[in-house]
Amino acid sequence: MLLIATETLFVLMLCTLVKTTDICPKTNWDNYTDGKKLPEFPIKIFENIGLQSCYRECLAHGNCFSVNFNRKELMCQLINEKESHLKSLLDDENFIYMEITDADTVSAGGKTCGNEVCNNYSTCIRISSQKMKCIATDCADPYPLLDNGFISERTYDPISATYGCNSGFIGVGSGNTITCRPGGKWSTLSYVCKDQAIRLGNSSVSNEGLLYVYLNGEWGTVCDDGFGMVEANVSCRTLGFQRAVDCHRSAMLGIGSGAILMDEVRCSGYEESLFNCRYITDHDCVHEEDVGVTCE
């Protein structure tokens, strides 16, 4: 840690006095803002890279208009926005913020690359001493939005995005990671974030188990008071089955864990979800009254 701090101090002194190293803004010095960053979701991140190289990556990318450069971690963020009255800079002593100048952009449609203009998912690559070409390097689609969720992790080679859910929500679905070919479209995101969910537990089979529900940010069991085959049928349909074949009361499938979140559940039988039935959350149930179901 001492070595890193010493190197960082040396770099800052060198930038101030010389302004020629790769981590210093040798070109476009007027666009250099020290100790600031633009709080925007980066379109791409490079690690172990200098500031000048970071700036060149932004120049080459068709959708980059500014960079956040972390001089402590040598990390480069490409940003597709610029500072404005709606997007102000934030203080961060580890960062340097730089913008692409008007002279670096050919038009609102993109950036020049030899005889062509790169689109927003391409990067200008020099393929010979005389020729440059726009190559698709990113996904042509924007990142999909996930209600009540966020992107928790991204990779760029291969291109992927992994989603998580906000606090108080639970992820439901077969996969929360999507992929994309350069210049292509994202794969399907089969994942949703719900504030209410249902699952079976305490069992080695998928169609039978103790009934668990997700309410108010936690998993818990269901009390068997008033719970019968009508409620079991609705529970199984909520789980994706056709119907219930049995209802197990008095913790016949085992004693659950966590809070008991539902009691006095009453369904008409036509509900699409168990959460559409009437129930109470204030009760005196114990886990010896946990209910389970068998579905088909």
Euclidean distance between the first and the last CA atom of the chain, given in angstroms as a whole number:
59
Is the predicted pLDDT of residue 255 greater than 50, yes or no? yes
76-110 confidence digits (pLDDT tens): 999 999 988 788 999 999 999 999 875 555 444 56
pLDDT number for residue 8:
44
Backbone angles phi, psi at 50, to 5 degrees: -85, 170
Helix, strand, coil share of the chain (percent; to 5): 15, 40, 45
pLDDT number for residue 104:
52
206-228 confidence digits (pLDDT tens): 999 999 999 988 999 999 999 99
Mean per-residue pLDDT, 148-171: 93
Amino acid at 106: V
Could you please state the CATH topology (level 3) that the domain comprising 2-108 is classified under. Hepatocyte Growth Factor (3.50.4)
Is the predicted pLDDT of residue 16 greater than 50, yes or no? no
204: left (phi over 0), alpha (psi -120 to 50) or beta: alpha
Task: Report the distance separating Cα 56 and Cα 161, nearest Å.
Answer: 25
DSSP letters spanning 13-75? HHHHHT--STTS--SSGGGEEEEEE--S--SEEEES--HHHHHHHHHHBTT--EEEEETTTTE
Backbone angles phi, psi at 11, to 5 degrees: -65, -45
Query: Which residues does 183 contact at the CB level (< 8 Å), separation at least 6?
Result: 121, 122, 136, 138, 139, 140
**Structural domain boundaries in the chain:** 2-108, 149-194, 197-295
pLDDT number for residue 87:
87
Could you confirm whether domain 197-295 is CATH 3.40.50.12500?
A: no
Quick check: 41 and 68 in contact, CB under 8 A?
no
Is the predicted pLDDT of residue 9 greater than 80, yes or no? no
Is the predicted pLDDT of residue 156 greater than 50, yes or no? yes
Distance of CA 87 to the CA centre of its chain: 21
Is residue 129 very low, low, confident or very high in pLDDT (cuts 50, 70, 90)?
A: confident
Is the predicted pLDDT of residue 254 greater than 50, yes or no? yes
Q: Can the peptide bond before residue 158 be classed as cis, meaning omega within 30 degrees of 0?
A: yes
The residue among 72, 71, 69, 74 whose CA lies nearest residue 58 is 69
